[in-house]
Amino acid sequence: MQIKPPQEILDYLSYSMRDLKKEVFRVIYLNNRNQIIDTVDLFEGTPDSITISTREILDSAIKRNASALIFVHNHPTGDHTPSKTDKQLTRDLVFAGMILQIKVLDHIIIGENKYSSFAESGLIQKCEDNFLNMKIRHI
């Protein structure tokens, strides 16, 4: 299966994630043609929080020889708005992915019949630009 726009990912995962009572962080691993290698629920939290390890995510991507990643998690409250923590995590994952040459394609948050896509909103591109700007300035 080849994944393209966020709506396809939402269709692929929303029914299995939107009614969960706890936060679940799922990773979709893709090859260099954006075909799914694997889909794994990597972390499970409480109804209003989840602890996620950037290192574990990237380690699991390397073990699967993934070229790209899509992150999907739910907000059991129904609010699909990214939190400050969601934005920081995504930034860290994009930065680390760029160093390891693993592309972060999107981070999608599923709420109650709605979703937020970091790619659609331009936040993935902004993170990539910030990383490249830091690299240019040798930070």
According to the model, what pLDDT value does residue 4 have?
57
HEC letters along 15-79: HHHCCCCCCEEEEEEECCCCEEEEEEEEEECCCCCCCCCHHHHHHHHHHCCCCEEEEEEECCCCC
According to the model, what pLDDT value does residue 5 have?
60
Query: What pTM was estimated for this model as a whole?
Result: 0.90
The whole-angstrom separation of Cα 98 and Cα 93 is 8
The class level of CATH for 6-136 reads alpha beta
Tens-digit pLDDT string for the chain (139 aa): 555 566 677 777 777 787 788 999 999 999 999 899 999 999 999 988 889 999 999 999 999 999 999 999 999 988 899 999 999 999 999 999 999 999 999 999 998 888 899 999 999 999 999 999 988 887 6
Sheet containing 115-117: order of strands: 36-44, 24-30, 68-74, 103-110, 115-117
